[in-house]
């Protein structure tokens, strides 16, 4: 039974693609799915850092493609979950070292063995983007509530549709509910009405994200974090569960109590 291949993309840089990949991958693995994450950002490797696996890299994506190693040799197992793997990208090479067809073949092979193949797409819409998208059947587009990020997301959705990828979902990252209430930030409704793709989840802005990235432990392991909860729910929705979107009205009293107890 072949698994699902997802690509996480955004067009604009710095909106949280890598963080999303790390967290979605971890959530799905926690749900007893076998998951492999591919860092397609050749030359700007960072998924391994976010996962805290930097010092274990021996082989990388380019080595697999060039036949210097078997793909099992380049796959690094997560520290906590033994059904979660990453394939790091090469830091010393560039995007042209891999061709879209090669990525497609690799994704097909991996989808035979794993339930989910998650590809971390580089920023931009050039060669790196084409490589990352080539093997994917589902796309998750990340945007933040800023006009520049939304414009780029719109362009990327257009390119995906032109490339005949129809299964596109949206995640709005770094939403600040307080600013939306004051009218200083675009609301989720505005973004969805402009981009016109189904919403997979909304991740609130949180300081926990920076902390978890620096520690190399994905946020979803932290039970008290609201951003972590958002990612857990996104993972659930990907598995086909119908989980309502998180409360827009900010923290409820009960949640605040829970958070106090957990911390």
Partner 1 sequence: MTSNNLAPIQIKAKRNGFLLMPDPEASFDSVMEYLNQHLKESQDFFKRSEMTLDLRARPLRTDEISALHSLLVEKAQVKLVEVKLTETLSFVVDRPLIQQQSPPPSSVPSRQATSARITVSPLIVRNTCRSGTRIESQADCVVLGDVNPGAEVVAVGDIIIFGNLRGIAHAGADGDRSARIWALSIEPSQIRIADLVAVPPKGSKPAAKRFEIAEVQKDMIEVILL
Footprint of partner 1 on this chain (CB under 8 A)? 147, 151-152, 154-155, 157-159, 161-164, 194, 196
Residue written as tokens 């919403």?
199
Strand partners, 85: 36, 77
What is the nearest approach in angstroms of partner 1 to the Cβ of residue 89?
Answer: 25
Of 138 and 159, nearer to partner 1 (C-beta) is: 159
**Tokens standing for residue 8:** 């996480």
- CB of residue 184 to partner 1, shortest distance in Å: 15
Please state, as a whole number, how many other Cβ atoms lie within 10 Å of the Cβ of residue 112. 11
Q: What residue has token string 């698994």?
A: 3
* Pairwise CA distance, residues 29 & 54, whole Å: 20
Least spacing, CB of residue 165 vs partner 1, in Å:
10
Name the minimum Å distance from CB 94 to partner 1: 23
Query: For residue 53, what are its two tokens?
Result: 């696996």
- The number of beta carbons lying within 10 Å of the beta carbon of residue 83 is 17
Rounded Cα gap, residues 75 and 235, in angstroms: 22
Closer CB to partner 1, residue 44 or residue 165? 165
Percent helix, percent strand, percent coil in the chain, to nearest 5: 45, 15, 40
CB 138 → partner 1: shortest distance, Å? 17
State which residue, 115 or 152, has the beta carbon closest to partner 1.
Answer: 152
- Helix or strand holding residue 175 (H, E): strand 168-175
Around 125, how many Cα atoms within 13 Å sit in the side-chain half-sphere? 16
User: Least CB distance from residue 238 to partner 1, whole Å?
Assistant: 24
Cβ nearer to partner 1, comparing 120 with 152: 152
In the chain, how many H helices and how many E strands? 12, 8
SS3 for 166? coil
């Amino acid at each position: 039974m072949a698994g699902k291949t997802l690509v996480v993309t955004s067009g604009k840089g710095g909106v949280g693609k890598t963080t999303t990949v790390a967290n979605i991958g971890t959530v799905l693995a926690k749900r007893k799915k076998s998951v492999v994450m591919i860092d397609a950002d050749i030359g700007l490797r960072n998924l391994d850092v976010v996962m805290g696996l930097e010092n274990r890299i021996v082989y990388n994506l380019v080595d697999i493609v060039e036949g210097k190693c078997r793909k099992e040799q380049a796959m690094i197992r997560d520290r906590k979950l033994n059904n979660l793997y990453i394939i790091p990208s090469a830091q010393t090479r560039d995007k042209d070292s891999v061709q879209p067809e090669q990525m497609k073949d690799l994704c097909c092979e991996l989808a035979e063995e794993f339930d989910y193949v998650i590809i971390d797409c580089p920023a931009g819409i050039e060669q790196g983007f084409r490589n990352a998208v080539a093997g994917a059947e589902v796309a998750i587009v990340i945007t933040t509530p800023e006009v520049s990020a939304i414009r780029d997301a719109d362009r990327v959705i257009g390119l995906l549709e032109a490339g005949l990828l129809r299964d596109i979902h949206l995640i709005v990252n770094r939403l600040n509910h307080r600013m939306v209430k004051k009218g200083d930030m675009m609301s989720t409704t505005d973004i969805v009405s402009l981009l016109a793709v189904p919403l997979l989840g909304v991740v609130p802005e949180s300081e926990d994200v920076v902390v978890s990235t620096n520690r190399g432990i994905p946020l979803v392991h932290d039970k008290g974090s609201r951003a972590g909860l958002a990612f857990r729910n996104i993972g659930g929705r990907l598995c086909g569960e119908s989980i309502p979107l998180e409360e827009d009205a900010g923290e409820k009293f009960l949640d605040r109590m829970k958070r106090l107890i957990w911390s």
